[in-house]
């Protein structure tokens, strides 16, 4: 849902990209800023207590903003690349693992729920990547993409109820994983397999 909203704010994001590009034109640098902020958020979670929880919520929100900035800078500077996309996606997963590890260390939620929330969050990203590899576009399918998950964690952390944030993330990630899986299975099931043509001498034509 937030990705669709991002499309409506394209002109604003383009302007923001130009502003940040003046400070640093490398999208990778802004990706790094977002990762560092996520690691600081994870540390804040790990420190425990409401102060750590609230600070982590703020840091998650700011890190999410820089996750948008790096893409905007890449577009306005014409520096989009497969390498950059791979790096951005991979570091996003690293940041997400770190956040849940911090929540686990801080003891904010049952370890089983934290593990399941992280697992299905990663599976949401995996289904999209696998779908793209097979020619099935799954971007925007489901209500639990990374932007939504981070927003949920941020808001619940600021409210001091991150344990509920973990449960909500688990619910939306599970729903999105199932929706993407069924969507991909339906699309791929309708695709016709290419016929095998024998190259042996004397073989009958198909």
Would you state the structure tokens that stand for residue 184, as one six-digit string? 């991909």
The domain of 125 spans 2-189
**Which residues form the catalytic set?**
92
Give the chain's domain count. 1
**Does 107 map to a domain?**
yes
Average pLDDT over residues 151-170: 95
- Report the alpha-carbon distance of residue 112 to residue 100 in Å, rounded: 12
Tell me how far CA of residue 197 lies from CA of 201, 204, 205, 206, in angstroms: 12, 9, 8, 7
Residue 109 in contact with residue 162, Cβ under 8 Å? yes
**Does 151 map to a domain?**
yes
Helices (H), the chain: 2-8, 10-23, 27-47, 49-77, 82-106, 111-133, 146-158, 162-190
Q: Phi first, then psi: what are they for 202, rounded to 5°?
A: 80, 0
Q: What's the predicted TM-score (pTM) here?
A: 0.82
- Report the alpha-carbon distance of residue 48 to residue 126 in Å, rounded: 30
What average pLDDT does the chain have?
84
**Does 197 map to a domain?**
no
Question: Which has more confidence, 92 or 84?
Answer: 92
**Does 141 map to a domain?**
yes
**Does 205 map to a domain?**
no
Question: How does DSSP classify residue 193?
Answer: P
Model pLDDT for residues 173-204, shown as the tens digit of each residue: 999 999 999 999 999 987 555 444 444 455 44
Dihedral sign for Cα atoms in the order 67, 73, 76, 78: negative
Model pLDDT for residues 54-64, shown as the tens digit of each residue: 999 999 999 98
**Does 194 map to a domain?**
no
**Does 199 map to a domain?**
no
CATH of the domain at 40: 1.20.120.1760
**Does 147 map to a domain?**
yes
| Closest residue by Cα to residue 13 from 53, 70, 57 | 70
């Amino acid at each position: 849902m937030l990705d669709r909203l991002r499309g409506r704010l394209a002109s604003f994001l383009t302007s923001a990209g130009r502003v940040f590009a003046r400070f640093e034109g490398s999208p990778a640098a802004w990706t790094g800023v977002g990762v560092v902020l996520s690691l600081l958020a994870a540390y804040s979670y790990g420190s425990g207590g409401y102060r750590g929880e609230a600070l982590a919520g703020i840091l998650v929100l700011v890190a999410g903003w820089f996750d948008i900035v790096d893409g905007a800078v890449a577009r306005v500077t014409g520096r989009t690349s497969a390498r950059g996309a791979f790096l951005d996606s991979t570091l996003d997963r690293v940041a997400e693992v770190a956040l849940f590890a911090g929540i686990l260390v801080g003891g904010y939620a049952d370890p089983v729920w934290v593990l399941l929330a992280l697992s299905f969050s990663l599976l949401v990203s995996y289904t999209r990547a696998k779908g793209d590899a097979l020619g099935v576009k799954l971007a925007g399918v489901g209500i639990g993409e990374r932007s939504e998950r981070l927003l949920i964690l941020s808001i619940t952390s600021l409210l001091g109820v991150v344990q509920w944030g973990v449960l909500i993330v688990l619910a939306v990630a599970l729903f999105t994983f199932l929706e993407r899986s069924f969507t991909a299975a339906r699309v791929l099931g309708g695709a016709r397999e290419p016929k095998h043509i024998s190259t042996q001498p004397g073989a009958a034509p198909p």
